[in-house]
Amino acid sequence: RKAKEQVTHSLVYAYNDRRKKKGDFRRLWIQRINAGARANGLTYNRFIQGLALAGVEVDRRMLSELATNEPAAFASLVEVAKQALPADTSAPKPAEAPAAEKPAAKKAPAKKAAAEKPAAEKAEKPAAKKAPAKKATEEAAE
């Protein structure tokens, strides 16, 4: 009976850890990318933002490999990200009097940017789904 319980528990642990492993590796990759980006003068967030603005679609796993094994190639990606980034956004703003308006202004573009991102992703995915649907409607019309 003890052996059967141990086998059951080990299967549960194996199942849970297979799911946990994915997040653990992602965290490791992000730490490596952050270290490489900071060595080249950028933070992780600014680096990822710059790559997105530049249209570079390299996943975190490959970025991590480049940061650890190919520092020169990673440095060139950091330069691409730096060029794509806008001016320093962390610089202090000159006017502090309308402070109540600024947070509202900051929140609105952030929500719009967040809303635009899923909309763009959704626009791509349904387009692929709609194409077969149109064929089905065309076939039905014939």
Residues 44 and 82 in one domain: yes
Q: Which of 43, 66, 87 is the last residue of a domain?
A: 87
Cα 37 to Cα 55: distance, rounded to the nearest angstrom = 18
pTM for this structure?
Answer: 0.58
pLDDT (average), residues 118-132: 40
Residues 5 and 72 in one domain: yes
pLDDT at residue number 138: 45
**Within-domain flag for 136:** yes
Task: Point out the least confidently predicted range of 11-15, 28-32, 81-85.
Answer: 81-85
Task: Give yes or no for residue 49 having a pLDDT over 80.
Answer: yes
Question: Could you tell me the pLDDT band of residue 89, with boundaries at 50, 70 and 90?
Answer: low
Question: Could you tell me the pLDDT band of residue 86, with boundaries at 50, 70 and 90?
Answer: confident
pLDDT at residue number 106: 44
Query: How open is the CA angle 72-27-125, to the nearest 5 degrees?
Result: 90
Residues 53 and 81 in one domain: yes
**Within-domain flag for 92:** no
Report the percent of the chain where pLDDT is more than 90. 56
Considering its fold, how many domains does the chain have in total? 2
The residue segments making up the domain with residue 55 are 1-87
The closest alpha carbon to 61, from 35, 37, 26, 36, belongs to 26
Question: How far, CA to CA in Å, does 130 sit from each of 72, 80, 86, 119, 140?
Answer: 43, 35, 36, 16, 15
